[in-house]
C-alpha cells in the first residue's frame, strides 16, 4: 500500500514538473514567436503576408497569375519578391478569404492563433494514434514548441502546421477534403496524392474535382478563363526556380546541387516515384504514413520550418515497442533538425557549413527511412 502511494505521488510530481517546464517553454518560445510574427517591424509573418496580399488582390478581381508573368522582371528586382509570387494553388487564395476581411495586423494575430490551434490538434492526434501517455504528450509539446521549425513557422507565418494537420486528418479518417487542402502546397501533398492514385482510390479523383472547381471559380470570378489557368501555379514555380535557387536543406535537390548533378533531379524523381509505388503495394498503416512524411522531406524542396513534419516521427519514437537503435536514430534526427542547425548558427558561428548540414541531415533522414521500411516489412 505504501509503495503504491509513493509510486502515485512520484507520477504526480513528474506531471507537475513537466507541466511547469512546458509552461515556461510556452511563455519563452511562443512569446518570442509572437513578437517575430506580429510585432516585428520588418519581415514579420512574411509568408502569411504574401498569401494574404495575393488573396486580397484576387478578391479585388485581379488575375494574380497573369500579373506575375507581365511584371516578373520588376518582381525579381524587389527586395522581398516572395510576396508577389503566386506559387500556391488557386484554392489557397480562395480559402484565405476570411483573413482578408481584417487589416493585416489583425490578420497576423488571427493566423498566429490559428497555428496554435493547429498544434493543439496535431498533439492530440499524435497522442491518440501513437498511444502516448499524458506526460509523453506534454514532453512532445515541449519538444515541438521549443524547436526551430515551430518558431520559424510561427514567426514567418508559414502553413506547415496547417498542412501537417490536414495530412494527419486525411490519413487517419479518410477525409478527402483534408487531402484536397494539403495539396495547396504541392511539395506537401504530392506523395499522398500519388499514394491515392497508385492504390486506385477515389480520393485522387475527389482532389482533382475540388481543384478544378477552384480553378473555374477563380476564372469566372476574375472574368476570364484559359487553358493555361489549369497549370499556372506550376508554370510560376518552374519560372521562379530559374531565378530563385530552390535548394532548401537536406533534400534530394540540395544534395544534387552540392555534387553538380541538379540536371538529373527530375529523372531521379521519376525513378524514385516508381520504386515508391512498388513499396506502397502493402497495406496502409502508420508506418506507411511516417514513410511518406520522411520521403516528402527527402524528395522535395523544404526549408527548416517544414521539418515540423517530423512531429509524428517523434511521437512514434516515444512508443515502448520501438527498439533502442530506431529510437536513437529518430531522436538524433529530431535533435539535429529541431535544435542543432540553429545552435550551429548562433553558438558555433556556422562551424558546419550549409552543404555539410544538408549532407548530414539527408543521411539521417535516409537512416530513419530505412528503419521505417524495415519495420513496415518486418525485416
Q: Which domain holds residue 96?
A: 2-376
C-beta pairs of 263-271 under 8 Å, 24+ apart in sequence: 269/299
Whether residue 356 has pLDDT greater than 60: yes
Which pLDDT value is given to residue 151? 95
- Run of H or E including 74: helix 64-77
CA–CA separation, 125 vs 129, rounded Å? 6
Per-residue confidence at 379, pLDDT binned at 50, 70, 90? very low
- Classified as helix, coil or strand, 360 is helix
Q: What's residue 4's pLDDT? A: 47
Predicted confidence (pLDDT) at residue 7 exceeds the cutoff of 60: no
Q: Can you tell me the distance from the alpha carbon of 238 to that of 217, in angstroms, rounded to the nearest whole number?
A: 24
Is 366's pLDDT higher than 60?
Answer: yes
* pLDDT on residue 284: 56
Q: Phi-psi category of 85—alpha, beta or left, where left has phi over 0 and alpha has psi -120 to 50?
A: beta
Neighbours of 256 (CB within 10 A): 16
Q: For the segment 97-146, what is each residue's pLDDT rounded down to a tens digit?
A: 999 999 999 999 999 999 999 999 999 999 999 999 998 999 999 999 99
Alpha carbons 369 and 253: distance in angstroms, whole number = 17
In this predicted model, what pLDDT tens digit does every residue of 229-238 receive, in sequence order? 999 998 888 8
Q: How far apart (Å, rounded) are the C-alpha atoms in residues 320 and 282?
A: 24
With a cut of 80, say whether residue 41 has pLDDT above it: no
The pLDDT of residue 237: 85
Per-residue pLDDT, averaged over 78-105, amounts to: 85
For 182-229, what is each residue's pLDDT tens digit? Answer: 999 988 988 898 888 877 678 888 999 999 999 999 999 999 888 889
Radius of gyration of the chain (CA): 21
Give the separation between CA 166 and CA 162, rounded to whole angstroms. Answer: 6
Q: How far apart are CA 300 and CA 333, in angstroms?
A: 18
Whole-number percent of the chain with pLDDT over 70: 90
Mean pLDDT, rounded, of the chain? 87
Set of cell numbers at residue 28: 519563452
DSSP designation for 225: -
Count the residues in the chain. Answer: 379
Domain count for the chain: 1
In this structure, what DSSP letter does residue 84 have?
Answer: G
Residue 308's nearest CA partner among 319, 326, 298, 293 is 293
- Alpha-carbon distance of 149 to 308, in angstroms, equals 5
Higher confidence at residue 72 or residue 257? 257
Q: Where do we find the cell 480559402?
A: 95
Give Cβ neighbours of residue 70 (< 8 Å, ≥ 6 apart): none
Neighbours of 175 (CB within 10 A): 15
How far apart CA 115 and CA 324 sit, in angstroms, is 33
Name the band, by pLDDT with cuts 50, 70 and 90, for residue 248: confident
**Mean pLDDT across the stretch 291-316?**
93
Integer Cα distance of 36 and 357 in angstroms: 25
Summarised one tens digit per residue, pLDDT across range 261-303 is 877 777 787 777 777 776 666 655 667 899 999 999 999 888 9
Report long-range pairs for 177-184 (Cβ below 8 Å, ≥24 apart): 177/210, 179/203, 179/206, 179/207, 180/91, 180/206, 180/207, 180/210, 180/211, 181/91, 181/95, 183/89, 183/207, 183/211, 184/88, 184/89, 184/91, 184/92, 184/95, 184/159
Helices (H) and strands (E) in the chain, counts: 21, 0
The answer to whether 38 touches 103, Cβ cutoff 8 Å, is no
- pLDDT for 246 equals 67
C-alpha pair distances (Å), 348 with each of 239, 340, 343, 344: 36, 10, 7, 5
- The three cell numbers locating residue 57: 488582390
Joined together, the cell numbers standing for residue 20 give 511547469
pLDDT above 60 (res 2) = no
Q: Which whole number is the average pLDDT over 63-70?
A: 89
Is residue 59's pLDDT more than 80? yes
Question: CA 249 to CA 329: how far, in whole Å?
Answer: 19
What is this structure's pTM? 0.91
Amino acid at each position: 500500500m505504501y509503495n503504491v502511494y509513493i509510486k502515485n505521488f512520484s507520477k504526480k510530481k513528474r506531471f507537475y514538473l513537466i507541466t511547469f517546464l512546458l509552461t515556461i517553454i510556452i511563455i519563452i518560445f511562443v512569446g518570442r514567436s509572437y513578437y517575430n510574427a506580429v510585432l516585428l517591424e520588418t519581415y514579420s509573418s512574411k509568408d502569411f503576408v504574401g498569401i494574404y496580399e495575393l488573396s486580397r488582390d484576387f478578391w479585388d478581381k485581379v488575375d494574380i497569375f497573369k500579373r506575375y508573368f507581365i511584371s516578373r522582371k520588376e518582381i525579381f528586382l524587389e527586395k522581398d519578391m516572395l510576396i508577389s509570387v503566386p506559387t500556391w494553388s488557386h484554392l489557397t487564395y480562395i480559402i484565405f478569404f476570411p483573413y482578408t476581411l481584417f487589416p493585416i495586423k489583425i490578420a497576423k494575430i488571427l493566423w498566429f492563433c490559428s497555428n496554435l490551434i493547429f498544434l493543439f490538434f496535431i498533439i492530440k492526434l499524435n497522442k491518440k494514434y501513437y498511444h502516448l501517455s499524458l506526460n509523453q504528450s506534454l514532453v512532445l509539446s515541449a519538444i515541438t514548441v521549443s524547436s526551430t521549425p515551430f518558431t520559424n513557422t510561427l514567426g514567418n507565418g508559414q502553413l506547415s502546421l496547417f498542412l501537417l494537420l490536414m495530412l494527419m486528418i486525411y490519413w487517419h479518417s479518410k477525409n478527402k477534403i483534408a487531402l484536397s487542402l494539403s495539396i495547396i502546397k504541392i511539395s506537401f501533398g504530392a506523395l499522398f496524392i500519388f499514394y491515392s492514385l497508385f492504390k486506385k482510390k477515389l480520393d485522387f479523383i475527389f482532389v482533382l474535382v475540388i481543384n478544378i472547381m477552384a480553378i473555374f471559380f477563380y476564372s469566372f470570378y476574375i472574368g476570364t478563363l484559359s487553358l493555361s489557368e489549369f497549370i499556372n501555379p506550376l508554370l510560376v514555380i518552374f519560372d521562379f526556380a530559374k531565378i530563385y535557387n530552390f535548394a532548401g536543406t537536406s533534400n534530394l535537390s540540395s544534395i544534387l546541387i552540392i555534387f553538380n548533378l541538379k540536371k538529373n533531379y527530375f529523372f531521379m524523381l521519376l525513378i524514385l516515384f516508381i520504386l515508391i509505388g512498388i513499396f506502397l503495394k502493402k497495406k496502409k498503416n502508420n508506418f506507411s504514413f511516417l514513410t511518406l512524411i520522411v520521403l516528402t522531406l527527402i524528395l522535395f524542396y523544404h526549408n527548416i520550418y517544414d521539418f515540423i513534419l517530423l512531429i509524428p516521427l517523434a511521437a512514434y519514437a516515444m512508443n515502448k515497442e520501438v527498439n533502442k537503435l530506431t529510437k536513437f536514430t529518430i531522436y538524433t534526427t529530431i535533435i539535429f533538425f529541431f535544435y542543432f542547425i540553429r545552435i550551429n548558427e548562433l553558438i558555433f558561428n556556422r562551424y558546419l557549413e550549409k552543404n555539410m548540414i544538408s549532407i548530414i541531415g539527408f543521411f539521417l533522414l535516409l537512416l530513419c527511412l530505412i528503419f521505417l521500411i524495415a519495420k513496415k516489412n518486418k525485416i
